[in-house]
Structure 1
Amino acid sequence: MDSATSDPGAAARPPLRSTASDGVKIVVVGGFGVGKTTMVRAVSEIRPLSTEEVMTQAGVGVDDTAGAGGKTTTTIAFDFGRISLDEELVLYLFGAPGQKRFWFLWDQLFSGTLGVVVLVDAHRVEDSWYAVDRLEHHGIPFIVARNRFEPVAHTLEELREALDLPDSVPVVECDARDRESSKQVLLSLVDHLYALSSAPSARETAS
Structure 2
Amino acid sequence: MKNIVGLTLGIACLAAALSAQATNVAELTVRGTIKPAACNLSMTGAGIVNYGDIPSGTLLPTAFNPLQEKTLPLSVNCGSVAAKFGLTFKDLQAASKVPGILAVLGTGYTEVHNYGLGAVSGRKTGGFTVTLRDLRSSGTTLYPIMRASTSTATWLSSDGKAAQFPAQHSWRTGSSLTPAPVSQLSATLAVRAVINKAQDLDLSRDVTLDGRASLELNYI
Whichever structure has more helix as a proportion of its residues is 1
TM-score by length of structure 1 reads: 0.25
Structure number with the bigger relative contact order (C-alpha 8 A, sep ≥ 6) is 2
